[in-house]
Amino acid sequence: MAVLSLEHVDQIFGQGSARVQVLHDVSFAAEAGTLSLIVGPSGSGKSTFLTIAGGLLTPTKGAVVVAGNSYQARSPKAREQLRLGSIGFVLQAYHLLPYLTVEDQFALVDRIKKSGNLSHTELTDLLDQLGIANLLKKYPAELSGGQKQRVAIARALYPDPAILLADEPTAALDGPRVQVVGKLLADLAHTRQKAVVVVTHDARLIPFADAVFEMTDGRLSRVQQ
């Protein structure tokens, strides 16, 4: 069964002459244990899609269902709970807090979500898997782009969400580093049974995906591999 689905989603921004339809009748489903990749050029609607999938934006039309629950049917507070418990985000800018060490980025999650986070041992295993266990005392400014990105991935996974959404996780990475991140995202899906959904313009990630979709002018289609 799909952990995350979008059903006939339209997104329209603006009104009158400024009205622009960014998503057209988008339907999508992601299963646990799979890496889904959505590729498309700049401006095609990828970030809008991910923002709606993550419940940060309510679509103009259509439904988003997470673990059997529709966002629309819930109050803003219940929606927040669903998002906090089920979804990890890796945003393009990483969103690490500059004045907190890596270890305190996780402690902050504990304050926001008090239970159901990874145990100390599970977190240590995850940091080892990501190759960042030695960075706990460092501040974001002391990390390379690739290290920041892996910390952001760890932080998104720390609350143990069923779904991981990532926006352009390989932006500004060189070839070998793209391979590492592609393998990592696929491994996270396969070994931790997450539904991992990545939007990107980076075709180099395609070989790692279990399912590939193409976004063209706000229309989503499945690419047969």
Ligand X SMILES: Nc1ncnc2c1ncn2[C@@H]1O[C@H](COP(=O)(O)OP(=O)(O)OP(=O)(O)O)[C@@H](O)[C@H]1O
What are the residues binding ligand X (CB under 6 A)?
13-14, 20, 22, 40, 42-48, 201
Strands laid side by side in the 20-31 sheet: 20-31, 2-13, 61-66, 69-70
Query: In angstroms, what is the minimal distance from the CB of 42 to ligand X?
Result: 3
Q: Which does residue 48 touch among ligand X, Mg ion, none (CB within 5 to 8 A, set by kind)?
A: ligand X
**Conformational region of residue 58, where left means phi above 0, alpha means psi within -120 to 50, and beta covers everything else:** beta
Q: Is 147 in the site for Mg ion (CB under 5 A)?
A: no
Across 164-196, b (16+ Cβ under 10 Å) vs e yields bbbbbbbeebeeeebbebbebbbebbeebebbb
| 2, 7, 33, 47: residue in contact with Mg ion (rule CB under 5 A) | 47
The candidate with the shortest Cα–Cα distance to 33, out of 162, 186, 184, 190, is 190
Closest to Mg ion by CB, 54 or 159: 54
Closest to Mg ion by CB, 47 or 129: 47
Query: In angstroms, what is the minimal distance from the CB of 17 to ligand X?
Result: 13
Tell me, rounded to whole angstroms, the distance of Cα 48 from its chain centroid. Answer: 12
Closest to ligand X by CB, 95 or 190: 95
The C-alpha atoms of residue 209 and residue 211 are separated, in whole angstroms, by 5
- CA dihedral (48, 53, 59, 65) in degrees, to 10, reads 170
Q: Which does residue 200 touch among Mg ion, ligand X, none (CB within 5 to 8 A, set by kind)?
A: none
198 in Cβ contact with 185 (< 8 Å): yes
Residue with tokens 């050029």: 41
Q: Which does residue 21 touch among Mg ion, ligand X, none (CB within 5 to 8 A, set by kind)?
A: none
Closest to ligand X by CB, 47 or 70: 47
Closest to ligand X by CB, 42 or 75: 42
Query: In angstroms, what is the minimal distance from the CB of 55 to Mg ion?
Result: 17
Q: Which does residue 60 touch among Mg ion, ligand X, none (CB within 5 to 8 A, set by kind)?
A: none
Residues in the chain: 225
Query: In angstroms, what is the minimal distance from the CB of 47 to ligand X?
Result: 3
Binding site for Mg ion (CB under 5 A): 46-47
